[in-house]
Amino acid sequence: MLHKRIEIKYEHETATLLTYILDNTPKIDPD
């Protein structure tokens, strides 16, 4: 049970981090 909670927390933090990185990456518009 505790292990499952840790996994979910880890996945959530990873998704948040990826979103943060993508949001702060300069957008390259293909012309």
Q: Evaluate if residue 30 carries a pLDDT over 80.
A: no
* 0.75 surpassed by pTM: no
Rounded CA-CA distance 18/15 in Å is 5
**How confident is residue 10, by pLDDT bands cut at 50, 70 and 90?**
confident
φ, ψ (nearest 5 deg) of residue 18: -60, -40
Q: What is the pLDDT of residue 16?
A: 92
Mean pLDDT in the chain? 82
Q: Which two tokens stand for residue 30?
A: 């293909």
Q: What is the pLDDT of residue 31?
A: 66
> Between 20 and 27, whose confidence is greater?
20
